[in-house]
Structure 1
């Protein structure tokens, strides 16, 4: 089975005698395995398994414990997340447990799956017999272990510290672990499991709660809050407050002590590059490049102009040569000659020549001969409308009809010409006004912008008022709301026509009998009303609105902070949102009240919905369950309270426990609480010391006993810790 791990494989497995036991501390957080009699385990890794597939080959690999983030980019981890074999400190996923044992024995240096060494493995207090039976079956059937012994990790830690003189034979062992918290009383050095107590709260819940708080506080840094990083932050910065309410008030008031207790975690941050002003050499270089590009564009434009002039001159020479040839052709041969050239008449050739001449003159930039143009236009008009100046009595009936058509066409042409001339004059006037405004702006830009803004404000108010008058006729219902259609003089032409049709229909209906609808002509009224109403919005825009649009576009060009009104009647925002560059402070994670708020759940599990007692109350529950008649024994138990487990490393937890236990014990009761020498490793060290004893084999049961006695023998199995 392929493994991916940074843990080196041991190479001295075959050097140990087959009677040397293998010691396994199978914790819910970490898996520790080593040899009996040694002071440190050989292999330590997280008790999790992940089985992703390679993105290219599709091969499934097994990742046990900590993984290398640099290698995971080659694997697809979307369908396979980290899995644990534990549920509330009890092993229930033995398929996952098999991967962990395979990896542990492989890192120890075992060749193959045959393990010919006795095994001492830890379990939780009062472990269900079903879990113990499955573990024995896995070790006997899969690995061929000759004998097994099961022991409680908390008991091994207590016995190890008892040997070191830290605690007495009679006492209490408090173990806030990864997913659960246990309290086990010890009498004469042996655990009394009928007085043990357990709550489903531990370091996992503390880390998860801290991760939730940081994610809610800094939602834009979610990617930085990985489980491993939050675990490190918890162990580095969290502590247990002596009095939670008093500590919370310090942070609520913002006292100086709260600022001193606040810690900051700086995320990776790269300052944006500062833009320095360009030097004179850089400006000169860019100007030279720009001038070179401009010169190149001018040369290209000049070449294009020369090519266009040559093309038009050649076309003009061709047309003049064609007219010259047409003059030399006989009248009878003109149609055949024109058919060969593609033109219909001589007039078409001359018209095409005039167009080419105008285009050539325009390309060369020569001024137009206005007088010649007018004379040519008059001459063309006289030729086109030849019957207009002839008296009617000199024309036939057909010529009179043609004369009427020519008069109509001429009047329409003159109207279009006048409209064109008017638009041309308006354009000249607009250009002149723009030139004057540009001169004013150049003289005093600030004053010009203020005047333009004032003009824009006045026009906006005027257009708003006109819109309100068109909507409600200049009055309201007292609540600044529209009151329906207003006075008739405020309506436009289409609305007034509609009102007239309605009035006429109502007036006619009031005369005698109501006969509306009998005739087909009566229904034309609806068509007229619908037509007028549909053309209600076809009116030309008001001059004020056009001027307002022009000033708005001009202000957008001059002032980058100006925002025009999206619609008439809506207010302009007070200030424009501006982009704020990210600074170093934006990448700082502040840990204040979270430092003591998260570990507080060990004493108040109801914060996360666990309806159980806290760590200090568990000692009272455990003592009451013993029901000893000897009162001095209770005093001996509280005089030697050992705190072990990974979650006992928080600063202040011993003082907080002592204060909490004093509140539930009689006044004057002796209370002594000590922390284990190494709360994390003492369980394995105690088990290794126990397995190295010469009488250890008396506490194990062999594979033959398992085959003969089965699960019932495991049900009554209990390790004796005093050899």
Structure 2
């Protein structure tokens, strides 16, 4: 709709001349009584953008004008309507619309001296009608107010022109609703009025859905406003719907004339030229050069590390030779200068540096198990003595020594296991680093493929758990895995093997069965997959 100019003939009208306002949910039409056409027509919505210069909020009534976006910020405001379906409920917005109406009519004073004829929906709630009258009388001081239904006004006008009789049916289709009003002897029977919540908005929305289904690649371009303009510009009302359908089904020439083709703005993508053989060779040479540079950097870094470790080992060996060749009184001064507290600490540092040197050179490091070296038999003298030869106090001490020895052996085994795992991890890391340096592109591709495979596997496992755990879908037996079913079978068999009475769990050996079957292989596999996925994600982020 075009912008509404301000009228300059307001003072020329007699005060008894009424101002007619057709207050629709979609559009508002305003004019003077007795004129054939309305003076103004605009979209019955309110925008509240901000001025870019000052940030102040202003009111704009009517359609959105793209030219105003140079001065106003519309991004944080959307249009507001005073209507809920076809009933006015936002009277603050309605007041802004009336301000715009009277301003465009040329009113300069704060009081309206002309009567106002205002349209409303059929069976308008009394509350909405009273608030509308209060707004016009108290805010604008109108001398009188008349309310009516636009469909009934249209029927009476056509009756006066002789186009219809005294009895009939008015079907008034609006923006969100459609009303059917029976007319009897020239008077509307509002008690028999019917309303259907279907209007022009739903027609536009349905057309938009059809276009989006037909052209799914242009959903973003098929906005509601564009589809509405298509409906207004190219749509028409069929007088005989069945005949229109038959016309398009048969492909008549008249149907071809009624077809309309609408082209969306489209920019063809740039055509990419295939690189020449020289360009491919140049890129391959650049990649090989970069890969060789990475390999050289890694080799240099490894050689520096090996040199540092060799120097450190040589220094520690020289320190041990110095300790062997000096007097006992001078040992403390040498240890104080070196930063070590004892000869054993120096030997431990030497062993650790030797292992690091072998790892840096890519050699296999074998962990030697020496539990006997750390377990002194003199610390546990009562373990080899029979219980019959011990007093009660000695028996208690023997149990304590047995516990201490078991704990020490467990610590030694755990330490050796950690060292083995660290050695294996170091070797795997070195192999992986060699693969990365040999072919970085293939290495990265393999990592991503493994990551996608693990992610899909974990997602599939989660979906299976969610599907199995949904209420009413399957029973408990169907939600259990094969390993879990086997464990349940073992427990049930153990519980009823002792006769009719279930006494399972009363003896200590019964609980050994729980320890034996308490490990869930599926859960362990899921944890390992998640840990591996986390490692791959971290590796990809580093790369």
TM-score (norm 2): 0.50
Superposition map of 1:39-188 within 5 A: 40-46=37-43, 48-50=44-46, 52=48, 61-68=58-65, 73-74=74-75, 76-77=77-78, 80-83=80-83, 99-114=96-111, 121=117, 138=136, 142=140, 153-154=153-154, 157-158=157-158, 176-179=171-174, 180=179
Aligned-pair CA distance for 1:535 = 1.2
Superposition map of 1:578-657 within 5 A: none
Aligned-pair CA distance for 1:223 = 9.6
Residue of structure 1 in register with 2:320 after alignment: 323
Aligned 8 A contact 2:49 2:73 in 1: no
Residue of structure 2 in register with 1:236 after alignment: 234
In structure 1, what is the Cα distance between the partners aligned to 2:164 and 2:491? 110
Residue of structure 1 in register with 2:12 after alignment: 17
Q: 1:271 to 1:534 in 2, by over 3 A?
A: farther
Q: 1:203 to 1:35 in 2, by over 3 A?
A: farther
In structure 1, what is the Cα distance between the partners aligned to 2:82 and 2:315? 87
Aligned 8 A contact 1:9 1:109 in 2: yes
Aligned-pair CA distance for 1:350 = 5.4
Aligned 8 A contact 1:498 1:533 in 2: no
2:517 aligned with 1:536: yes
Superposition map of 1:240-389 within 5 A: 240=238, 242=240, 244=242, 277-280=274-277, 282-331=279-328, 333-334=330-331, 337-338=334-335, 341=338, 349=346, 352-353=349-350, 356-357=353-354, 359-360=356-357, 363=360
In structure 1, what is the Cα distance between the partners aligned to 2:48 and 2:286? 56
Q: 1:317 to 1:230 in 2, by over 3 A?
A: same
Residue of structure 2 in register with 1:26 after alignment: 21
Aligned 8 A contact 2:46 2:61 in 1: yes
In structure 2, what is the Cα distance between the partners aligned to 1:20 and 1:142? 15
In structure 2, what is the Cα distance between the partners aligned to 1:104 and 1:171? 35
Aligned-pair CA distance for 1:156 = 8.2
Aligned-pair CA distance for 1:330 = 2.3
CA deviation map 1:515-544 (0-9, x unaligned): x99xxxxx8864323321441265999xxx
1:207 to 200, 209, 212: 200
Aligned 8 A contact 1:22 1:36 in 2: yes
CA deviation map 1:170-204 (0-9, x unaligned): 8999865444466879xxxxxx7348899857998
Aligned 8 A contact 1:115 1:144 in 2: yes
Aligned-pair CA distance for 1:107 = 1.0
| Equivalent position SS for 1:315 | helix
Aligned 8 A contact 1:114 1:145 in 2: no
Q: 1:346 to 1:265 in 2, by over 3 A?
A: same
Aligned-pair CA distance for 1:318 = 1.8
Q: 1:36 to 1:73 in 2, by over 3 A?
A: same
| Equivalent position SS for 1:240 | coil
Aligned 8 A contact 2:234 2:260 in 1: no
In structure 2, what is the Cα distance between the partners aligned to 1:525 and 1:141? 88
Q: Which has the higher contact order (CA 8 A, sep 6+)?
A: 1
**Residue range with higher mean Cα deviation, 319-328 or 138-147:** 138-147
What are the ranges of 5 or more consecutive residues in structure 1 without an aligned counterpart? 186-191, 386-397, 432-480, 483-490, 510-515, 518-522, 554-723
Residue of structure 2 in register with 1:656 after alignment: none
| Equivalent position SS for 2:6 | coil
Q: 1:228 to 1:102 in 2, by over 3 A?
A: farther
Aligned 8 A contact 1:139 1:145 in 2: yes
CA deviation map 1:569-610 (0-9, x unaligned): xxxxxxxxxxxxxxxxxxxxxxxxxxxxxxxxxxxxxxxxxx
In structure 2, what is the Cα distance between the partners aligned to 1:200 and 1:324? 113
| Equivalent position SS for 1:26 | strand
Aligned 8 A contact 1:45 1:65 in 2: yes
In structure 1, what is the Cα distance between the partners aligned to 2:489 and 2:93? 82
CA deviation map 1:654-686 (0-9, x unaligned): xxxxxxxxxxxxxxxxxxxxxxxxxxxxxxxxx
| Equivalent position SS for 1:110 | coil
In structure 1, what is the Cα distance between the partners aligned to 2:203 and 2:236? 10
CA deviation map 1:20-75 (0-9, x unaligned): 976644324344445688765432224x3537585999977544343447567255
Q: What is the RMSD computed on CA atoms of the aligned residues?
A: 6.7
In structure 2, what is the Cα distance between the partners aligned to 1:93 and 1:310? 82
Residue of structure 1 in register with 2:474 after alignment: none
In structure 2, what is the Cα distance between the partners aligned to 1:302 and 1:203? 81
Q: 1:156 to 1:223 in 2, by over 3 A?
A: farther
| Equivalent position SS for 1:205 | coil
Q: 1:110 to 1:52 in 2, by over 3 A?
A: same
Aligned-pair CA distance for 1:308 = 1.5
Q: 1:184 to 1:122 in 2, by over 3 A?
A: farther
Q: 1:139 to 1:18 in 2, by over 3 A?
A: farther
In structure 2, what is the Cα distance between the partners aligned to 1:204 and 1:304? 77
Aligned-pair CA distance for 1:315 = 1.4
**Larger Rg computed on CA atoms:** 1
Aligned 8 A contact 2:21 2:118 in 1: yes
Q: 1:135 to 1:157 in 2, by over 3 A?
A: farther
Q: 1:311 to 1:143 in 2, by over 3 A?
A: same
| Equivalent position SS for 1:527 | coil
In structure 2, what is the Cα distance between the partners aligned to 1:530 and 1:201? 76
